[in-house]
Structure 1
Amino acid sequence: MRELLQAVPGEVLAKFYGCGSPLPLGIVGLKVLDLGCGSGRDCYVCSALVGESGSVLGLDMTAEQLKVAEEHVGEFSRSLGYSKPNMRFVKGLIEYLDEAGILDASVDLVISNCVVNLSPDKPRVLQEVFRVLADGGEFYFSDVYCDRRLPLSVTSHEVLWGECIAGAMYVQDFVREASKAGFLDARVVSMSPVRVEDPKLLKVVGSAKFYSITYRLFKLPGLLEPTQEDYGQLVTYKGTIEEQEQTYALDNQHKFETGKLQAVSGNTAAILKDSWLSQHFKVMGDQRTHYGSAGDPALAKELA
């Protein structure tokens, strides 16, 4: 990933304001949409990751940023040896992907880098992402969240908006809204604290704690349950994802070693069998027999 970032044009890197690089590997051939792409850094990286058979669409509301993103497409595509660019950009709002011409079930992977928390209508963003994703598709994104619902004194604070703090959603509210949109079983990839250092701003936010979290949301209608259940299913990772040939981390709770048979919950089995990840895993067993809870050890012990 570092080599790919180094290959991105300098102007694109200099004018990109995202945090981190929330991109999954193993996405060759996928159709990718980047919400709030800015100058397009993550789009350029994805352009290399998906290969000539894949495609990347960057969406942003800022014409100046899109101009920077578009300026280097041809040269970058030629540097990858592509016969034609697999990347393009469009102006639009992340709440209204339909107005940007993005059709139902037309995308395999949606990414976003510290953008959703700036939206005034986060539930609609989640609904739109669910709409444009094909079945088995995924929303893989990073953003800032909070351990509580924030008061108006924080959510209306201009400086805190600029710091991506004022728009931080309460984690549990986010999980509920994602579920309402159709995304059951939100998976956490990584989580790290975001500290407010300025004494004046600390007085405004009080005891609230903020976190940068990378989430994975899979569109698998009818296949995921609200809880982790045990059906006796087993999976094996094939070791076919570049740079992750030895192990693959689905999230911060599930790491798979190549060739090793591992027991998983029904939800994890569905993700690995019916999402875009299916080509990289072998899943054994079905869900005809239920063996109880797979996600609450304390409850399972009581019921045993």
Structure 2
Amino acid sequence: MSTTASTGNNGQEAAVAQRYSAAAEAKEPALCCPVQYRQEYLKAIPDEILERDYGCGDPTAHVQEGDTVLDLGSGGGKVCYIAAQAVGPHGRVIGVDCNQEMIALARRHRETVAQRIGYANVEFRYGLIQDLALDLEVLAEEVRGLAVDTPQGWLTLRRIEQRLRSERPMIPDESVDCVVSNCVLNLVRTEDRRQMFAEIFRVLKPGGRAAISDIVSDGDVPDNMKNDSELWSGCISGAFREDAFLKEFEAAGFYGIHIASRQSEPWRIVEGVEFRSLTVVAYKGKQGPCWERKQAVIYRGPFKRVEDDDHHVYERGARMAVCDKTFQLLRKSPYLGHFEFIEPREPIDPQEAEPFDCSRPKHRHPRETKGHDYHVTSETSGQCMDGGKCC
């Protein structure tokens, strides 16, 4: 884990940059929580990187073979090099950080790790995690020699930035299977956080997921702590409130948002506020039209009813009408095992499906899926479904 921008306060911003630049050269224990990583992956990573790692969780547990992975605030590269092994030779890992010392540390060991694991699939890019379209190294090349100390120069710089975001985006739209981050989002200044979540959503493919480990608080952080540059750069005073952290994913358009792991005991307590590590996993892909294909789902329980992020309510044991999009989403992670699925007796071709009326009654009568003219009577076979004799 490394850093991005902090608050708008120049003292805090400078403190963050200075602290992590120094942490790239010498280990600072105060910047990390105890984390258990998969030991087989650590063997390929040089000690210099392991000693300069600063994180609070292991989001790589949610990476899959063949994934294209984006690590936000990649720092010295530890998470990237773990993910490189998890995705295998057919996967790809991109680390983004805005601390040049950390990027230099990570890049210094690319060939060593590649030799040890047998393939090279990691690269590191210089940029802000709240602006994933702008590669700062490419920008530096474009503006070399440009004077920005006049209004005209500043406007020229803005035009170049916008052109690069459009023509040469650092991370293109819908190009990533999994976004991971390890204790970085809390360092982004408050006014940039909504944009940061929008950027995470933008770069993910439909069906992709975000696995984010970060420090959260159990209550609102007082202003005096937010204005303390030492606490901000130490991943404390910029922490999201626990419930608000999950709401940010919801506001960005994610679904299937859940807490994958939560530190039971606080990492630190400051002025009565508890700070602990939390890993959240969220999915992209619920956007798009809703089509009626006469499908239904039955929520298995154990709760009496549950509600999803689109306000669909599922009553335990009841046949609930859903559109085809929701029907397919509920068959995948993280909903596996919670529902039974009822297809219509006569399948409806997707090309012939009509729009699903979200205002309709939510229960689906069995005749809707079987057909109103379905009057079959089955014969007794003398055998139970499990092959034994019936009573």
Pairwise same-fold verdict (TM > 0.5): yes
Question: For residues 115 and 287 of structure 1, what CA distance do their matches in structure 2 show?
Answer: 44
Distance 1:115 1:43, change over 3 A: same
% identical equivalent positions: 33
* Map 1:4-83 → 2, pairs under 5 A: 4-25=41-62, 27-82=64-119
* TM value normalised by structure 2: 0.56
1:143 aligns with 2:214: yes
Q: C-alpha deviations, 1:6-55, integer Å up to 9, x for none?
A: 32111111122122322125611110000000000010011111111110
2:185 alignment partner, one of 108, 116, 126: 116
2:131 alignment partner, one of 79, 96, 101: 96
What is residue 106 of structure 1 aligned with on the other side? 175
Does structure 1 conserve the Cα–Cα contact (< 8 Å) formed by 2:72 and 2:96? Answer: yes
Question: For residues 40 and 56 of structure 1, what CA distance do their matches in structure 2 show?
Answer: 10
* Map 1:145-184 → 2, pairs under 5 A: 145-184=216-255
Does structure 2 conserve the Cα–Cα contact (< 8 Å) formed by 1:233 and 1:286? Answer: no
Task: Tell me the CA shift for residue 284 of structure 1.
Answer: 6.1
What is residue 376 of structure 2 aligned with on the other side? none
Q: C-alpha deviations, 1:180-226, integer Å up to 9, x for none?
A: 111134200111132436xxxx3xx3x32222110001112238xxx
Aligned to 1:90, what secondary structure does the other structure show? strand
Distance 1:40 1:268, change over 3 A: farther
What is residue 208 of structure 1 aligned with on the other side? 273
Question: For residues 44 and 363 of structure 2, what CA distance do their matches in structure 1 show?
Answer: 50
What is residue 270 of structure 1 aligned with on the other side? 329
Distance 1:143 1:26, change over 3 A: closer
Does structure 2 conserve the Cα–Cα contact (< 8 Å) formed by 1:231 and 1:290? Answer: no
Aligned to 1:194, what secondary structure does the other structure show? coil
Letter in 2 for 1:232: I
Aligned to 2:104, what secondary structure does the other structure show? helix
Task: Tell me the CA shift for residue 286 of structure 1.
Answer: 5.3
- More moved, 150-159 vs 124-133: 150-159
Question: Unaligned 5+ residue runs, structure 2?
Answer: 1-37, 136-169, 289-295, 301-319, 345-360, 365-391
Distance 1:181 1:159, change over 3 A: same
Question: For residues 269 and 91 of structure 1, what CA distance do their matches in structure 2 show?
Answer: 38
Q: C-alpha deviations, 1:253-294, integer Å up to 9, x for none?
A: xxxxxxxxxxxx998972653x7x89x99x9625989569xx
1:87 alignment partner, one of 119, 122, 141: 122
What is residue 266 of structure 2 aligned with on the other side? 194
Q: C-alpha deviations, 1:82-106, integer Å up to 9, x for none?
A: 2xx2110001111000113111001
What is residue 217 of structure 1 aligned with on the other side? 282
* Map 1:252-271 → 2, pairs under 5 A: 270=329
What is residue 383 of structure 2 aligned with on the other side? none
Distance 1:77 1:231, change over 3 A: same
Distance 1:6 1:81, change over 3 A: closer
Distance 1:13 1:268, change over 3 A: farther
Question: Unaligned 5+ residue runs, structure 1?
Answer: 224-229, 235-264, 293-304
Does structure 2 conserve the Cα–Cα contact (< 8 Å) formed by 1:134 and 1:219? Answer: yes
- State the aligned residue count: 245
Task: Tell me the CA shift for residue 141 of structure 1.
Answer: 1.2
Q: CA RMSD in A?
A: 3.2
Does structure 2 conserve the Cα–Cα contact (< 8 Å) formed by 1:25 and 1:49? Answer: no
Question: For residues 99 and 46 of structure 2, what CA distance do their matches in structure 1 show?
Answer: 19
Does structure 1 conserve the Cα–Cα contact (< 8 Å) formed by 2:57 and 2:279? Answer: no
Q: Which has the larger radius of gyration?
A: 2
1:232 alignment partner, one of 289, 298, 307: 298
Distance 1:268 1:15, change over 3 A: farther
Aligned to 2:43, what secondary structure does the other structure show? helix
Distance 1:67 1:176, change over 3 A: same
Question: For residues 42 and 21 of structure 1, what CA distance do their matches in structure 2 show?
Answer: 8
Does structure 1 conserve the Cα–Cα contact (< 8 Å) formed by 2:56 and 2:277? Answer: no
Aligned to 2:199, what secondary structure does the other structure show? helix
Question: For residues 274 and 62 of structure 2, what CA distance do their matches in structure 1 show?
Answer: 30
* TM value normalised by structure 1: 0.72
Aligned to 1:209, what secondary structure does the other structure show? strand
